[in-house]
Amino acid sequence: MNTPLAEAVSIVLLVAVLAGAVVRPFGLPEAVVAVPAAGIAIATGAISPAHAEAEAERLGPVIGFLAAVLVLAHFCDVEGLFRACGAWMARQAAGRPGRLLTAVFALASVITAVLSLDATVVLLTPVVFATAAHMSARPKPHLYACTHLSNTASLLLPVSNLTNLLAFGASGLSFTRFAALMALPWLVAVTAEYVVFRRFFRRDLAAGATLRGQDEPPGLPLFALLTVACTLAGFVIASAVGIDPAWSALGGALVLAGRALVRRRTTPLTVVRAAAPSFLAFVLALGVVVRAVVDNGLADALGRVLPDGTGLPALLGIAALAAVLANLINNLPAVLVLLPLAVPSGPGAVLAVLLGVNIGPNLTYAGSLATLLWRRIVHQHEHAVDLKEFTRLGAFTVPTALVGAVAALWVSLHVVGA
């Protein structure tokens, strides 16, 4: 296939894949469109079989890691961790919406960082909704916090987001060095979001709320907490000795899933479903389609505009470009496209890309798959989401958090060192 035709085919396929993920016709999984699109890309020559195989090999460990983390988060829910989180938020709020927002920010930031953004979107959002309803508080600030923090608060650890896993692999950093460099940007970005939220939703937070009587709060699931703590320790140790951290994630997932199986609280089929195989297939197919777009000219075009170096202006330019691209084509394709271009400039440039693709998607619905999933969950609870208001909020939070986080990354690179 000639280059112009291959470029056109690959772009059309990418648009079709993203549209399928956004619309999900008839409620079908994202993979229903993505997998055939990847097959068409290979069959038409938009991407060579060798390049498709290389992309699959590159994404394989990342996809395995993601599957293990999804299973781990699911069985933390089975153990009652998120019910305990809801009870904790209710106690901390004491009937005051402003304090509930603070509790949601604290909890969502930690859960996103440790158990990945999917846990915040899928498991914590319904709990937050129920807690706000229990208090008769306006749910909007707290629900919006869940989606914003599923993106922004996923900056801290390699395990917090699929984009992080990809950046971690490309950066050449150890688990602890990655976390050390991202700790200050994470803190600055979350704080910036919190300040904007308090101002933006001041009327909702000032509205009265009443704390209803509640049942006996559930006990803290110590076994689940201990398993998560050991898994995190395993990430650090595995990275230090050169073992893929996916093995630690697999160990934690097997412990909690095995406990549930022994207690007959789940079935093998449920364990498989918790790993979201259709979503994993979507990620792999999307990677192949994006590789086709990259091979057919997008990499050259972006390479001409991506700043070089790791000075503060260059980092700001890289992060801004990543944020714009994430809102145009979704953050997962954006990171797949930009990482190979940023690697020659070093870990600082790779992490700047990550700041852009994690914070930037808070501007639009289509910026990240997590936001699309959050919107479906909110609609299931019969709560309307106003597109104009969502965009207005993002217009305040994204520039503030992104500029602050990039400046913090620049400081971290000089203090911690890459």
Task: Could you list the beta-strand ranges (E) of 47-193.
Answer: none
Those residues whose C-beta lies under 8 Å from the C-beta of residue 382, and which sit 6 or more positions away, are none
Contact 372, 121 (CB under 8 A): no
In 10 A of CB 27, how many CB atoms? 6
pLDDT of residue 209: 60
DSSP per-residue letters across 55-66: HHHHHHHHHHHH
Chain-centroid distance of CA 414 in Å reads 27
Those residues whose C-beta lies under 8 Å from the C-beta of residue 357, and which sit 6 or more positions away, are 163, 322, 323, 325, 326, 331, 334, 335, 338
Identify the H or E element spanning 282: helix 277-293
User: Which tens digits make up the pLDDT trace of 150-199?
Assistant: 999 999 999 888 899 889 989 999 889 999 999 999 999 999 999 999 99
Domain count within the chain: 1
Sign of the alpha-carbon dihedral angle for 411, 315, 65, 109: positive
* Long-range contact pairs involving 409-415 (C-beta distance under 8 Å, separation at least 24): 409/181, 409/182, 409/184, 409/185, 409/315, 409/348, 409/351, 409/352, 409/355, 410/310, 410/311, 410/312, 410/315, 410/348, 411/184, 412/180, 412/181, 412/182, 412/183, 412/184, 412/185, 413/181, 413/310, 413/348
Identify the H or E element spanning 10: helix 3-23
pLDDT of residue 215: 58
Q: How many CA atoms lie within 13 A of 89 on its CB side?
A: 31
Q: CA-to-CA distance for 11 and 325, rounded, in angstroms?
A: 14
User: Which tens digits make up the pLDDT trace of 34-61?
Assistant: 999 999 999 999 999 999 999 898 888 8
Q: Which domain holds residue 274?
A: 3-210+218-415
Q: What burial letters (b/e) apply to 36-68, b meaning 16+ CB within 10 Å?
A: bbbebbbeeebbeeebbeebbeebeebbbbbbb
Q: Which of 114, 120, 214 minimizes the C-alpha distance to 128?
A: 120
What is the identity of the amino acid at 285? A
- Please tell me the pTM assigned to this model: 0.85
pLDDT tens string for the chain (418 positions)? Answer: 557 788 889 989 988 988 887 777 777 888 899 999 999 999 999 999 999 999 898 888 888 888 888 898 889 888 888 888 888 888 887 778 889 999 999 999 999 998 888 888 888 888 898 888 878 888 899 999 999 999 999 999 998 888 998 899 899 998 899 999 999 999 999 999 999 999 999 988 887 666 555 556 677 788 998 999 999 888 888 877 878 778 888 999 999 999 999 998 899 999 999 888 988 898 899 889 988 988 887 778 888 899 988 899 999 999 999 999 999 888 888 898 899 999 999 999 999 999 999 999 999 877 887 887 788 788 777 677 788 899 999 999 999 999 999 999 999 999 987 6
Those residues whose C-beta lies under 8 Å from the C-beta of residue 51, and which sit 6 or more positions away, are 291, 292, 295
In 10 A of CB 78, how many CB atoms? 19
Chain-centroid distance of CA 25 in Å reads 23
pLDDT of residue 216: 63
Those residues whose C-beta lies under 8 Å from the C-beta of residue 83, and which sit 6 or more positions away, are 127, 218
Those residues whose C-beta lies under 8 Å from the C-beta of residue 68, and which sit 6 or more positions away, are 246, 249, 250, 252, 253, 275
